[in-house]
Amino acid sequence: MDSTTASTRQRRKEARPAELAAAALALFVEKGFAATRLDNVAARAGVSKGTLYLYFDSKEALFRAVIEESVLPLIEASEARVVANLDDPARLLRALLVEWWECFGATPLGGTCKLMISEGGNFPEVAAYFNEQVIGRWSALLRQVIEAGIARGVFRPGSPEALRQMVFHPLLMQSVLQHSMFAGPPGRPLPEQYFDTYFDFILRGLGAADTQEPR
């Protein structure tokens, strides 16, 4: 075996966990967690079941790999963005929500939210992991931005958690709908001017000037 062939095989071996995680994500979103079998994942990735077991010993391990490979880097990037940009909470909030939609909500990764809604109760350990590593960290980020906006007088006083839910849940529901059987293929664009209208409502509602009662 020449050095070029050996190097190619090594690169292929190093890439295989990511390929298996991608195959698992596609099947989890298409079939659901319970209905996906390791044989299915191996076949989708084009490897034997024995090869899959070299890297992962369960569906739960595969799910964790999906999150670690694709979701946690997005959250870490958002955490760094928040640290660097808290001086402009309104602009930061808008950027975070658009980025969440483009990199998560409108992609196959968004299917993990629907997956947890529909099957999390049957797989409590998987749900607990997702809640801690994804939902908990993302929610904390949005609360931090909202708290900063309230402290700076940019956003109206109120419960940061209540405001976070009101701000984020419309986008979350859009993502869930994109991965529902009646909604068409994932990744389809939002209605025209969706974000313009969405942020007009959200930022006007959060705005500190709107706290005054009409006379």
Q: Which domains does the chain have, with CATH numbers?
A: 3-211 (1.10.357.10)
3-state secondary structure of 114: helix
pLDDT at 10 over 50: no
Q: Which of 100, 68, 101, 64 is nearest to 82 (CA)?
A: 100
User: Among 5-9, 94-98, 106-110, 190-194, whose mean pLDDT is lowest?
Assistant: 5-9
pLDDT at 208 over 70: yes
pLDDT at res. 5: 44
Contact present, 105 and 171 (Cβ < 8 Å): yes
| Dist CA 77 CA 103 (whole Å) | 11
Q: For 121-147, b where at least 16 C-beta lie within 10 A, e where not — what string?
A: eebeebbebbeebbeebbeebbbbbbb
Q: Which of 16, 12, 52, 44 is nearest to 28 (CA)?
A: 44
Tell me the pLDDT tens digit for each residue of 124-169: 999 999 999 999 999 999 999 999 999 999 999 999 999 999 999 9
pLDDT at res. 147: 97
Question: How many degrees, rounded to 5, is the angle at CA 193 between CA 136 and CA 84?
Answer: 40
pTM of the entire structure?
0.84
The backbone region for 156, taken as left when phi is positive above 0, alpha when psi lies in -120 to 50, beta otherwise, is beta
| Dist CA 97 CA 185 (whole Å) | 22
Tell me the pLDDT tens digit for each residue of 109-126: 999 999 999 999 999 999
